[in-house]
Amino acid sequence: MPIALITGANRGIGYALAHELGRRGITILIGARDEQRGAAAADALHAEGIAAEPIHLDMERPQTFAAAAHTIAERYGVLDMLINNAGIMIESESWNVNTAATIPMDVLHRTFQVNFFGPVELVQVLLPLLERSGDARIVNISTILSSLELHATPGSNTYETKTFGYNSSKTALNAFTVHLAHALRSRGIRVIGIHPGWVKTELGGKGALIEADAAARMIADTIVAPDPPTGVVLFRGKPLPW
Ligand SMILES: NC(=O)c1ccc[n+]([C@@H]2O[C@H](COP(=O)([O-])OP(=O)(O)OC[C@H]3O[C@@H](n4cnc5c(N)ncnc54)[C@H](OP(=O)(O)O)[C@@H]3O)[C@@H](O)[C@H]2O)c1
Reported as a single tens digit per residue, the pLDDT across 114-148 is: 999 999 999 999 999 999 999 999 999 999 999 99
- Name residue 42's amino acid: A
Q: Is 54 left (phi over 0), alpha (psi -120 to 50) or beta?
A: beta
Give this prediction's pTM: 0.98
Mean pLDDT on 17-44: 98
So where are the chain's domains?
3-239
- Name residue 132's amino acid: R
Which residue, by CA, sits nearest to atom 7 of ligand 1?
143
Indicate the top mutation candidate among 64, 88, 110 to test ligand 1's pocket, ranked by most ligand atoms within 8 A of CB. 88
Q: How far apart are the first and last CA of the chain?
A: 35
d(CA 98, CA 90): 13
Buried b (16+ CB within 10 A) or exposed e, 139-148: bbbbbbbbbe
Residue 1 pLDDT level (bands cut at 50, 70, 90): confident
d(CA 167, CA 70): 33
State how far the alpha carbon of 5 is from the alpha carbons of 26, 78, 93, 122, 155, in Å: 10, 11, 30, 11, 38
Residue 162 pLDDT level (bands cut at 50, 70, 90): very high
- pLDDT tens across 82-125, in order? 999 999 999 998 999 999 999 999 999 999 999 999 999 999 99
Domain 3-239 falls in which CATH fold?
Answer: Rossmann fold (3.40.50)
Q: 106, 30 in Cβ contact below 8 A?
A: no
d(CA 60, CA 118): 7
Q: Measured from the CB, is residue 90 less than 6 Å from ligand 1?
A: no
d(CA 139, CA 12): 16
- Name residue 39's amino acid: A
Q: Which atom of ligand 1 is nearest to the CA of 203?
A: 20
- Name residue 218's amino acid: M
Q: Measured from the CB, is residue 38 less than 6 Å from ligand 1?
A: no
Q: Which atom of ligand 1 is nearest to the CA of 86?
A: 24
Q: Which of 120, 105, 5 is nearest to 59 (CA)?
A: 120
Q: Which atom of ligand 1 is nearest to the CA of 113?
A: 31
What pairs with residue 115 in β-bridges? none
